[in-house]
Amino acid sequence: MKPPVLGKKHLRDYSATESSSGEFSREIMAKDTAENPLHTGRYLLILRDGVKDVMKTTRLLETKWGFLVANTADFITETMCESRIKDADALFYNELGIALVAADDDKMKLLHAEHADYIVEPEKVVYIPDDVTVDTAVESSWGIKAVRAHESVYTGEGVKLAVLDTGFDVRHPDFKGRNLTTFSFVPDETAEDLHGHGTHCIGIACGSSDQQGVRYGVAPGVQIYAGKVLNNGGRGAQAWILDGMTWAANNGCRVLSMSLGSKVLPGQSYDIAYERAARFALSKGTLIVAAAGNDSRRSENRFSPVSSPADCPSILAVGAVDSALQVADFSNRALNESGLVDLAAPGVDVYSSWPMPARYRTLSGTSMATPHVAGITALLCEKFPDATPAMIGQELIRTAGSLTSPAMKQIVITVSAYYLDRLDVVAENLREEGVTITRLYEFGVIIGYAEEATIDKIRHHKEIASLTDEKEAAVSPPEEDVQ
């Protein structure tokens, strides 16, 4: 299997009209840098009818295109990973009806042209969100107190909790004697965490207390499943995430935490491959929580949509709050129709485990909020051992407190004809006034969200021919809940 390109820009040359990602211009895609690419250079072939046509499509790839095709069903006694299919051109996820294809661009264009039974998507590069190191000396358990884990009689005993991340420091003294399973889906790298992010997130969800007795972990009794899906540099291929999701589900993990993602553009829909994997996990009894992302700067009126895969309907997206239970400045917002923020949790100045010899570190990010929710989910799974993922999810939402956000309304702006050749300037001015733009059309229509005070302020700007306040469509980012 051709390895993914994780540090070189790759843009496909064909139309995206049959893509779950929506149709975006090459100009937008080209804003990405070679150091932080959007795509790996490989592709996901997604069958329209799910697993129904796996064998038929396998024969097509083998006979017509000459591909050597592997299948996850071939791995009965061992876990599938790319290092075991180095000679393959494609890998079919038998449970998902999805194939990972590593072929040259010319072949992929021809495959894309014959897309009656499948959709072709570029494989995403996945990153750790831009978490912020605060102070390695800070020892604070405010997050544990905020979610009231210290008051619970439950510890997650008997519950399997999986974290997909950069691996785990299995020699960390705080986890001595714990029930721990690790696996690396990153070719040529062990599950050892040489980055630190995975150990920090696992500590929040599954850890206990530090040397001074400061508790930092929500569910200290769970069985830990640490799947390494991001390399030592903190990035990975989308297929590795799919590998980890199916691994966690097939191993009976009732909770799966993913503090990782790829940026999503305004108006972009959720990723079909991730949604397929999430539904498969739900069918196996696994509830998934994922980080909403850290791309916003709320203090500057800059809001970004919930990241992928957290924007999938079958995954709970987690935002971050600070110790005053205010939404964190960096926490992404529910801007796209398919990308809601389901819950928020402690994600600012969060103290947890770190690979030795540092032992501990304090970070901020939705990455830290997500394992708080995962840990609480494990406690609920222990309390309600026969509950389905849907029932656990409902209980999470029911028991969460409400965070009220400023009322936002959807607005449709028609730009005056005189300013049509300066749309980018008009849009930037609107953003500075506090408008969150979700769509900008070349013919002079801008769609977005704004608070009532902002709407009143911009309504009579000379650049605006008309402004429609879509009250009936409204409202805005929905209330974000805190667990």
Q: Catalytic residue positions?
A: 165, 197, 367
**Cβ atoms 346, 371 nearer than 8 A:** no
Q: Any residues with CB less than 8 A from the CB of 176 and at least 6 apart, and which?
A: none
Nearest to 187 by CA among 290, 100, 293: 100
Produce one character per residue of 196-229: b if its CB has 16 or more CB atoms within 10 Å, e if not.
Answer: bbbbbbbbbbbbbebeeeebbbbbbbbbbbbbbb
Distance CA 208, CA 206 (A): 7
- Looking at 289-335, list the stretches that DSSP marks H as alpha helix, in order from N- to C-terminal side: none
- Compute the distance between CA of residue 236 and CA of residue 239 in angstroms, rounded to an integer: 8
Angstrom distance (rounded) from CA 1 to CA 18: 25
Task: List the 69-71 sheet strands across, edge first.
Answer: 69-71, 90-93, 98-101, 39-47, 118-127, 235-237
The answer to whether the CB of 436 falls within 8 A of the CB of 413 is no
Q: What is the dihedral of CA 316, 322, 323, 325, to 10 degrees?
A: -60
Looking up tokens 């993914």 gives 4
Quote the CA–CA distance of 267 and 335 in Å, as a whole number.
8
3-state secondary structure of 84: helix
Query: 471 Cβ partners below 8 Å, 6+ apart?
Result: 409
Q: Is 195 exposed, middle or buried (0-12, 13-18, 19+ CB in 10 A)?
A: buried
Closest CA relative to residue 116, chosen from 66, 71, 42, 57: 57
Cβ contact 407:451 at 8 Å: yes
